[in-house]
Structure 1
Amino acid sequence: MKKQYLKLICLGLFILLASNECTTDNEYSIPTLDCIEPNSVPTKTVRELWDLATAIPQLQTEDDIIEAYVVSSDKEGHFFKTLFLLSLDYEIGFCLLLDDISLFTEYRIGQKIYIHLKGLYIEKQHDLLKIASAVDGNSLPISTPQYKKHITKSCYSVIESTISTAMDLNTPDSTLIGKLVTLKKVQFIESVLGQTYYNPENTFGLDTRHPITDSLGNRIILKTSSFASYATTAVAFKSGSIRGILTRYNNEYQLTPRYASDLTLTEPRFTIAETPEAPVVPTDPDPETPEEPDSEGHYLFPYGNLENFNGFLTAIIGSSLPEFLQHSIGTGFQDSNCLHLTTNAQSATTTVFTAFPNINLPSTYSKIKFYLKGSAAKSFSINLYKTDGSYYKFNLRDITTNTTLTNENTNKYNGTIATSGQWVLITLDLQSLTDLNTTLLTNPLFSLKIGNNSNYDIYMDHFTIE
């Protein structure tokens, strides 16, 4: 009898070890002996939910079940009442709103869970699928006693490396939204060094948003809340890799780490490829050509010469431009690249773009310059932001030749633009101003607005500050 028991024990151990060998790179963990796999059978895929979801919360009335892996953790203060998940085919990241804290004690990274959808709501905002409760058309976290009826935990999980996706800053991809991504060979931009991850003097909403960059100057925002365990830690000086959950607000991609250990910045800093500090001065300028910026001029915002359009987009709040503003190749000042604004009577005054300041702008300044060519039935208004978020107002009014503008009390769009096909130089006089935002790189500096009910056909190029 003892021999029979020994045979059974040996057979059980053999089966257990053999099943472990069948997994690739230990991708799946072995269920604990006291774990009983729930009798939950998926009836719908995450992709099907994604295709159904809209910006309006929709009640799920069928007894459908989906399955997913856990990829986020609230252990160190981020992802308050939110659980980010990844579909089992690794194609879609999404989130579950739960009215509870310390979710990491219930749902570990890589664990598979089943979500019973009946009675819950789905919606899609900023390309992120959300599953939640809802009241009066507004999504809310699912209440604590209720959500546990909708989630069952599997005995199986995957290791973290299998659920993290490598991401290149040069090509941010909307298919990565909601996923756990890893950036390699990145660092914080120079002006952020010396600040803490959460800086109460540099906030946007409830977070501090520090830009990180690769060696080509491509950027993304890294978000840190005041509740993060590392909030008061000084920003890492070195370069390396950063892992976190990718989201997007409008068209601005944002990365939020889960833990301090997601920031593995241990390598020496690298040199960032930057655009030249000033536009090229022609060797034999045409006397009819507008005055060139002085040699000590700096581009007002990153890639302010408009040659690298993808680089320029990283300097724009929202990281995208309206359809009526396009990158125009070879039509800029001295046959360079530029921005081309062409509209058919917008129904309201419209912000064309709002830009962050460039790095290493001068602390004292006297003027901002840019080139302009074209025609418009109304004019432009420009906002220059102060460090406190308020702004100065400059109005172009009638433009036919080189023009210098001074600060005014209100935004005005009266006047016309008619340069007869010639480039003219627009100069904003800053001699009386001392508090422009030239240092907070995640806050705006420059914003351009157009009037309503008027056609515009305008080219703009080479934005500099001296």
Structure 2
Amino acid sequence: MNTISKLTIAGVLSLGLFTAQSCVQDDDYATPPIECNLPSPNISLADLVSKVTAGSIKLDANKAIAEDLIVQAYVISSDETGNFFKTISLQDKVENPTTGIQIEIDGSNLYNSYPLGAQVQINLKGLIVANDRGVMKIGSVDPQYTVGRIPSAVMSTYMVKTCEAIQTIKPKVVSSLTDALKPENLNTLVTIEGVQFSDPDGDKTYGVSGATVNRVIVDKKGKETDLRNSGYATWYADVLPKKSGSITVVVSRYNSTYQVFIRDTNDVKFDQPRFDVGGGQNPGGGNNSEAANLLFKGSDFNVWADFLYSINSFGLVKDTYATSGVGVGRDNTNALLLKGTPKANDYVFTTIVNNTIPATPKKITFYVKGTSGKSLSLNVYKSDKKYVVYNVGDLSNSNVSLSPIDANQYTGKIDTKGEWVLVTLNIEGVDIQKTAGENIFALKVGKDEAYDLVIDNIKID
């Protein structure tokens, strides 16, 4: 901005000049007026999110911000083509952002007032700032919602475009979905290289009229995520490109599930040949061969209480090396963390039947990442209450498929090179236990060697 007001922030706000001192509204954003006497921001977006998360910001009786706080950020989304609805995503820097946030506005054609690349200031006093279903948002007080939409009639009271010239936002560039789908990238602009649509022949178009749909994108390691496309976007009927390449997205999340959005199809640069998913190079990760259904309640470990409820009367191993791994699971969800040195060949847990078991299941799968001096052994229980044994043995960064053997063994070492590796237990022909309350699955570890493993998503198909 060209000139900073000599008034104090408190004085500006008390005089009600926040809106009056904003830039002259003009479509010629390249030549903003010389004067733009906005108060200086007094909190960074990163500090705002950190303090809201820690609960260290003063709130009023409605849980709205009670302090005179002003934050500054850049617009990275646009509702011009219809894929964003009554929301704007903001990040703290033009390039290499550290923090993003979403602001909820009950209005349309927001791009006219807040175009892509514009710097905006937000007066936070009286607004809600909170985590809503996995995403940090700014909005109004609304008893029906965690974060409500700010009425468009009063929007300029809270958010104004500064007189800084429109900037070209430079996306963070990553080479995989794993690198893109991280908490620090939420509501920031990211370009993901080496991706393609999973089923362009079947899906055919970006969307369908009048409804929001998902189109799955996949990277070379087989990791997938949903590209969300509105049926009201001007390009919903465009044909999906069949090649591979890069895509520029706003990263978002719904609860623990990541999803991404494009502004328009110019964000999709698929001009390279399609690739074979996995390609023989580090096929760990991805859902292509992962089973569909949780083996028992809580076997994705996202809700630790559900997992503990599914364990038989012997409970979780009494030693403290088996704990809830918060945020360390696939897609940064929760998982089972094995970290320590067992003193015995332990049953870490044995779970019971409390979920629907397919009539003729063929496989049980789970993901593992990390290192250990000894390996894992798995027991799958049959209808006669006996069990069959699967030993993982040596495990590197390649998916493995295991068949039953005679006895539990812990020989072998695990080092997945920091990648998620899919372990498949072949249970075709096994008369697996289906009676509710009976034992169905056990995980065992060997003694006197260090384990530093993450286990996630135990499923059956």
TM-score range normalised by the length of the shorter chain? 0.5 to 0.7
Hey, what's the Cα distance between the residues in 2 that align with 1:32 and 1:241?
A: 33
Hey, what's the Cα distance between the residues in 2 that align with 1:184 and 1:75?
A: 25
Q: Give the 3 Å change call, closer, same or farther, for CA 161–114 of structure 1 in structure 2.
A: closer
Equivalent position SS for 1:182 = strand
Q: Corresponding residue for 2:135?
A: 128
> Paired residue for 2:158, among 150, 157, 160?
150
Hey, what's the Cα distance between the residues in 2 that align with 1:236 and 1:341?
A: 49
Q: 1:41-67: CA deviations, max 9, x gaps?
A: 111111221012249983111221111
Percent sequence identity over aligned pairs? 23
Q: Corresponding residue for 2:288?
A: 302
Q: 1:360-395: CA deviations, max 9, x gaps?
A: xxxxxx96423697558xx7xxxxxxxxxxxxxxxx
Q: Corresponding residue for 1:51?
A: 50
Note the 1:379-390 alignment, pairs <5 A.
Answer: none
Q: Give the 3 Å change call, closer, same or farther, for CA 221–152 of structure 1 in structure 2.
A: same
Note the 1:37-436 alignment, pairs <5 A.
Answer: 37-54=36-53, 58-88=63-93, 90-125=97-132, 127-136=134-143, 138=145, 139-162=147-170, 164-168=171-175, 169-171=177-179, 172-190=181-199, 193=202, 195-199=204-208, 207-274=212-279, 302-304=288-290, 319=331, 323-324=335-336, 342-343=348-349, 349=354, 368-370=361-363, 374=378, 397-400=383-386, 421=408, 426-427=427-428
Partner amino acid, structure 2, of 1:426: I
Q: CA deviation at 1:269?
A: 2.3
Partner amino acid, structure 2, of 1:427: E
Normalising by structure 2, we get a TM-score of: 0.58
Moved more, 38-47 or 114-123: 38-47
Q: Corresponding residue for 1:36?
A: 35
Hey, what's the Cα distance between the residues in 2 that align with 1:105 and 1:40?
A: 23
Partner amino acid, structure 2, of 1:149: T
Q: Give the 3 Å change call, closer, same or farther, for CA 427–110 of structure 1 in structure 2.
A: same
CA contact (8 A) 1:50 1:129 kept: yes
CA contact (8 A) 1:127 1:174 kept: no
Hey, what's the Cα distance between the residues in 2 that align with 1:159 and 1:237?
A: 32
Q: CA deviation at 1:231?
A: 1.3
Q: 1:371-427: CA deviations, max 9, x gaps?
A: 697558xx7xxxxxxxxxxxxxxxx65442579xxxxxxxxxxxxxxx964999633
Hey, what's the Cα distance between the residues in 2 that align with 1:453 and 1:264?
A: 52
Q: Corresponding residue for 1:361?
A: none
Equivalent position SS for 2:266 = helix
CA contact (8 A) 1:369 1:463 kept: no
Partner amino acid, structure 2, of 1:457: A
Equivalenced residues, count: 324
Q: 1:228-262: CA deviations, max 9, x gaps?
A: 22212221112222112101223332110011211
Normalising by structure 1, we get a TM-score of: 0.57
Q: Give the 3 Å change call, closer, same or farther, for CA 234–55 of structure 1 in structure 2.
A: farther
Hey, what's the Cα distance between the residues in 1 that align with 2:364 and 2:268?
A: 42
Hey, what's the Cα distance between the residues in 1 that align with 2:185 and 2:149?
A: 23
Partner amino acid, structure 1, of 2:97: Y
> Paired residue for 1:457, among 405, 423, 442?
442
Q: 1:312-357: CA deviations, max 9, x gaps?
A: x9xxx97467534879xxxxxxxxxxxx9944879x95799x9xxx
Hey, what's the Cα distance between the residues in 1 that align with 2:434 and 2:334?
A: 12
Hey, what's the Cα distance between the residues in 2 that align with 1:62 and 1:74?
A: 30
CA contact (8 A) 2:123 2:158 kept: yes
Q: Give the 3 Å change call, closer, same or farther, for CA 35–136 of structure 1 in structure 2.
A: same
Partner amino acid, structure 1, of 2:190: V
Equivalent position SS for 2:125 = coil
Q: Corresponding residue for 2:7?
A: none
Q: Give the 3 Å change call, closer, same or farther, for CA 349–117 of structure 1 in structure 2.
A: farther
Equivalent position SS for 2:271 = strand
Partner amino acid, structure 2, of 1:116: N
Hey, what's the Cα distance between the residues in 2 that align with 1:456 and 1:70?
A: 50
Q: Give the 3 Å change call, closer, same or farther, for CA 463–69 of structure 1 in structure 2.
A: closer
Equivalent position SS for 2:207 = coil
Q: Give the 3 Å change call, closer, same or farther, for CA 420–33 of structure 1 in structure 2.
A: closer
Question: How large is the Cα RMSD of the aligned pairs?
Answer: 4.7
- Structure 1, unmatched stretches of 5+, are 1-28, 277-299, 306-312, 328-339, 355-365, 380-395, 404-418, 430-447
Q: Give the 3 Å change call, closer, same or farther, for CA 170–341 of structure 1 in structure 2.
A: farther
Partner amino acid, structure 1, of 2:167: I
Hey, what's the Cα distance between the residues in 2 that align with 1:180 and 1:245?
A: 5
Q: CA deviation at 1:274?
A: 4.4
- Structure 2, unmatched stretches of 5+, are 1-27, 56-61, 292-299, 301-328, 340-345, 366-376, 390-405, 410-423, 445-454
CA contact (8 A) 2:135 2:254 kept: no
Hey, what's the Cα distance between the residues in 1 that align with 2:50 and 2:192?
A: 28
Q: Give the 3 Å change call, closer, same or farther, for CA 351–69 of structure 1 in structure 2.
A: farther
Partner amino acid, structure 2, of 1:52: K
Q: Give the 3 Å change call, closer, same or farther, for CA 453–118 of structure 1 in structure 2.
A: farther
Q: Corresponding residue for 2:320?
A: none
Hey, what's the Cα distance between the residues in 1 that align with 2:125 and 2:79?
A: 26
